[in-house]
């Protein structure tokens, strides 16, 4: 124990109970604030060390710390890990027997626990609220607090009701924690949980050891296989896919190629899912192929890569998923293959959803921001951190910094593309428009006599992949939209007009064949 720790009870607990020499980042400030009875809203990236921010104050204060968490599946592990270091913890959720719950309730009432983890729906029951009334409570910790946000990606209706905690227990300090919240979501959390007066602790979102890389999608399965074989043979990683079917196909494919891959998605039965998750956590070198159902709260430090075979819906999602890599601080890769079809598919999912117009508009804006990150000519990290309201400089550890894309004045090709869309009367999809540009006499081209158009073949010098890249940028720049009410036909927006008239110049990213990554030391 350091001499300092003798005078600092929080540090004393950190060292003697948890065995860590010092606090990280803002942990000490947060712990002291909450231990003194203050409310806090903590934004800290995944792996930043949020748990200690409520665990230590709970131990310093009289009574039991009540931790609200939606991650029922993890409660047992959390409680076991705490028991191992001698912290008295238990949980209350639907997976346990009545007797077990009774036992835990008794321990809460008798003040025999430092921490109790409770699922939000459980907490709201009259029985549980009565129990809390009859017990001494050190604090409430609301984990995964972004679940209170309807615009977030993990909305849980039970979270809205958590404002009751403040009303019913006004003198108990509350700490809300999340790893994901843009400034709007942050405001919404503060508002809905009545934490307007809480001190906000916003940590840096930078994960300097993660190298961001976004490549052109050609054959995603083959690309990810090459990526794993070349960059991460025998290492643990996660491969995210959009659909359950694709998860299964990709896992099978990787297995057939000698990779130790396992599937994970919400459509699998519970026991198979849990078994795969347990293997991923305990064994080395498992590649988990999963939908986004996988990963919330997973604490595996040595995940060396996170690959996306499909475009995430938002930067928050991308950040959170990629954030599961490199939690031990050693270099990790965030690798994504992305193509035009992703944009079309995500737009369709938004358009076809049952949600109201406001929600669709927000989802659309989030997707646009994600596209902007994919198509950026500048450092990916700068773009990413900027999204979370954090200014920074070029990182030297992303594909853009390491091999800067060449940009060129793409006004002419952009005009060609836009006029081709216009000439086919905005009634056709990407494949057909590109055929017309390239002068390909497909059956459809002949059928519609599009080989007679003035735009037919005006882009024959440019390859199909390059046209797709230009079209993606046209969508990202907002000149073109994909209309799903009209079978994915491409439509021009008002923004397209100045480009067509030659009044607006357009810088485009030069199409590049995917380049091999150089392995070099991470900048400190």
Residues in touch with ligand ADP (CB under 6 A): 20, 23-24, 27, 44, 46-52, 299
Handedness of CA 498, 502, 507, 508 (dihedral sign): positive
Q: Work out what residue 20 binds among ligand ADP, Zn ion, none; the CB cut-off runs from 5 to 8 Å by kind.
A: ligand ADP
Q: How far apart are the first and last CA of the chain?
A: 29
Write down the least CB distance from residue 381 to ligand ADP, Å: 20
Distance CA 251, CA 232 (A): 16
Give which of ligand ADP, Zn ion, none residue 48 binds (C-beta under 5 to 8 Å, depending on kind): ligand ADP
Q: How far is the CB of 181 from Zn ion (least distance, A)?
A: 23
Q: Does 214 bind Zn ion (CB under 5 A)?
A: no
**Counting contacts by CB under 5 A, is residue 398 touching Zn ion?**
yes
CB of residue 487 to ligand ADP, shortest distance in Å: 44
SS3 514: coil
CA distance 96 to 100: 6
Residue 338 binds which one of Zn ion, ligand ADP, none, with CB within 5 to 8 A depending on kind? Answer: none
**Where is 32: in which H helix or E strand?**
helix 27-35
- The interface partner of residue 46, options being Zn ion, ligand ADP, none and the CB cut-off 5 to 8 Å by kind, is ligand ADP
Instruction: Answer with the entry of Zn ion, ligand ADP, none that 181 interacts with (C-beta below 5 to 8 A by kind).
Output: none
Q: Which residues contact 387 (CB under 8 A, 6 or more apart)?
A: 182, 315, 319, 369, 373
Q: Beta strands of 119-235 (E only): which ranges? A: 137-142, 174-178, 199-202, 210-216
Query: For Zn ion, which stretch binds (CB under 5 A), given 28-36, 335-343, 387-395, 511-519?
Result: 387-395
Q: Does 172 contact Zn ion by CB under 5 A?
A: no
How far apart are the C-alpha atoms of 47 and 317, rounded to whole Å? 16
Q: Which is nearer to ligand ADP, 22 or 507 (CB)?
A: 22
From the list ligand ADP, Zn ion, none, pick the one residue 398 interacts with, judged by a Cβ distance below 5 to 8 Å according to partner type.
Answer: Zn ion
Please, what sign has the CA dihedral across residues 26, 27, 28, 32?
Answer: positive
Considering CB distances under 5 to 8 angstroms, the limit depending on partner class, which of Zn ion, ligand ADP, none binds residue 23? ligand ADP
Q: Could you say whether residue 384 binds Zn ion (CB under 5 A)?
A: no
User: CB under 5 A: which stretch of 60-68, 112-120, 136-144, 372-380 binds Zn ion?
Assistant: 372-380
Asked whether the beta carbons of 370 and 195 are under 8 A apart, the reply is no
Backbone φ, ψ for residue 35 (5° rounding): -60, -30
Least separation in angstroms between CB 114 and Zn ion? 43
Residue 398 carries which DSSP code? Answer: B
**Residue 210 interacts with Zn ion (CB under 5 A): yes or no:** no
Q: Of residues 162, 395, 458, 499, which one binds Zn ion by CB under 5 A? A: 395
Residue 141 in the binding site for Zn ion (CB under 5 A)? no
Q: Is 153 an interacting residue with respect to Zn ion (CB under 5 A)?
A: no
Instruction: From the list Zn ion, ligand ADP, none, pick the one residue 268 interacts with, judged by a Cβ distance below 5 to 8 Å according to partner type.
Output: none
Unique residue bearing structure tokens 């604490």:
299
Taking CB within 5 to 8 Å according to partner kind, which of Zn ion, ligand ADP, none is near residue 52? ligand ADP
From the CB of residue 440, how many other CB atoms can be counted at a distance below 10 Å?
17
For ligand ADP, give the closer residue by CB, 23 or 294. 23
In this complex, which beta carbon is closest to Zn ion, that of residue 34 or of residue 395? Answer: 395
Q: Which is nearer to Zn ion, 207 or 450 (CB)?
A: 207
Q: Least distance in Å: CB of 34 to ligand ADP?
A: 15
Q: Binds 296, which of Zn ion, ligand ADP, none (CB < 5 to 8 A, cut-off by type)? A: none
Q: Which CB, 348 or 517, lies closer to Zn ion?
A: 517
Is 313 a binder of Zn ion (CB under 5 A)?
no
Q: Count other Cβ atoms within 10 Å, centred on residue 425.
A: 9
Cβ–Cβ under 8 Å, residues 176 and 189? yes
Task: Please give the Cα distance from 196 to 212 (Å, whole number).
Answer: 35
- The encoded tokens of residue 403 equal 């091999």
Least distance from ligand ADP to the Cβ atom of residue 66, Å = 17
Nearer residue to Zn ion within complex by CB, 366 or 381 = 381
Question: How far is Cα of residue 27 from the mean position of the Cα atoms in its chain?
Answer: 23
Q: From residue 433, how far is each of 318, 349, 416, 438, 467 by CA, in Å?
A: 31, 22, 11, 9, 10
Least distance to Zn ion from the beta carbon of 410, Å?
22
CA distances from 84 to 17, 87, 315 (A): 10, 7, 37
Q: With beta carbons less than 8 A apart as the criterion, state whether 200 and 43 touch.
A: yes
Q: Quick one: which of 72, 374, 401, 414 contacts Zn ion (CB under 5 A)?
A: 401
String of DSSP letters for 96-153: S-HHHHHHHHHHHHTT--SEEEE-HHHHTSHHHHHHHHTS-EEEEEE-SGGGG-TTSS
Indicate which of Zn ion, ligand ADP, none lies near residue 314 (CB less than 5 to 8 Å, by partner kind): none
Nearer to Zn ion, 446 or 523 (CB): 523
Minimum CB distance to ligand ADP smaller for 40 or for 418: 40
> What is the number of other CB atoms lying within 10 angstroms of the CB of residue 454?
9
Query: Of 28 and 414, which CB lies nearer to ligand ADP in the complex structure?
Result: 28
The owner of tokens 């392995």 is: 519
| Residues making contact with Zn ion (CB under 5 A) | 379, 381, 395, 398, 401
């Amino acid at each position: 124990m350091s001499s300092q720790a003798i005078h600092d009870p929080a540090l004393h607990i950190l060292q003697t109970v948890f065995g860590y020499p010092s606090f990280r980042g803002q942990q000490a400030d947060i712990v002291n604030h909450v231990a003194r009875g203050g409310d806090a809203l903590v934004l800290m990236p995944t792996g930043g060390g949020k748990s200690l921010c409520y665990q230590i104050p709970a131990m310093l204060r009289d009574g039991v710390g009540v931790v609200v968490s939606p991650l029922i599946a993890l409660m047992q592990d959390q409680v076991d890990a705490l028991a191992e270091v001698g912290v008295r913890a238990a949980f209350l959720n639907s997976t346990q027997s009545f007797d077990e719950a009774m036992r835990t309730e008794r321990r809460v009432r008798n003040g025999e626990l430092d921490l109790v983890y409770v699922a939000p729906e459980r907490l709201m029951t009259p029985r549980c609220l009565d129990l809390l009334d009859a017990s001494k409570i050190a604090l409430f910790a609301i984990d995964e607090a972004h679940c209170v946000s309807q615009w977030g990606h993990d909305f849980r209706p039970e979270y809205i009701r958590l404002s009751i905690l403040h009303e019913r227990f006004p003198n108990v300090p509350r700490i809300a924690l999340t790893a994901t919240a843009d400034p709007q979501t942050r405001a919404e959390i503060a508002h809905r949980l009545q934490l307007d007066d809480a001190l906000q602790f916003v940590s840096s979102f930078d994960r300097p050891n993660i190298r961001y890389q976004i490549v052109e999608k050609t054959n995603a399965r083959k690309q990810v296989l090459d990526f794993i074989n070349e960059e991460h043979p025998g290492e643990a990683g996660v491969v995210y896919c959009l659909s359950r079917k694709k998860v299964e196909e990709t896992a099978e494919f990787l297995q057939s190629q000698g990779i130790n891959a396992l599937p994970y998605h919400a459509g699998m039965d519970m026991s198979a899912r849990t078994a795969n998750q347990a293997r991923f956590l305990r064994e080395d070198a498992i590649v988990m192929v999963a939908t986004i159902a996988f990963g919330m709260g997973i604490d595996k430090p040595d995940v060396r890569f996170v690959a996306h075979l499909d475009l995430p819906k938002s930067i928050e999602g991308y950040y959170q998923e990629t954030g599961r890599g490199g939690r031990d601080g050693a270099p990790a890769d965030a690798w994504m293959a992305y193509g035009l079809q992703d944009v079309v598919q995500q737009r369709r999912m938004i358009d076809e959803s049952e949600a109201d117009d406001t929600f669709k508009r927000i989802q659309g804006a989030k997707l646009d921001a994600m596209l902007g990150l994919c198509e950026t000519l500048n450092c990916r990290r700068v773009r990413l951190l900027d999204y979370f309201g954090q200014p920074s400089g070029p990182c030297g550890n992303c594909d853009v910094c390491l091999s800067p894309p060449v940009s060129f004045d793409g006004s002419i090709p952009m005009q060609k593309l836009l006029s081709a869309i216009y000439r086919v009367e905005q009634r056709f999809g990407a494949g057909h428009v590109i055929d017309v540009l390239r002068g390909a006499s497909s059956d459809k081209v002949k059928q519609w006599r599009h080989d007679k158009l003035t735009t037919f073949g005006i882009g024959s010098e440019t390859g199909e992949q390059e046209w797709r890249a230009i079209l993606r940028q046209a969508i990202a720049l907002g000149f073109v939209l994909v209309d799903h009410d009209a079978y994915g036909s491409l439509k021009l927006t008002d923004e397209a007009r100045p480009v067509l008239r030659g009044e607006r110049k357009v810088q485009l990213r030069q199409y590049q064949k995917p380049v091999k990554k150089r392995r070099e030391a991470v900048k400190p």
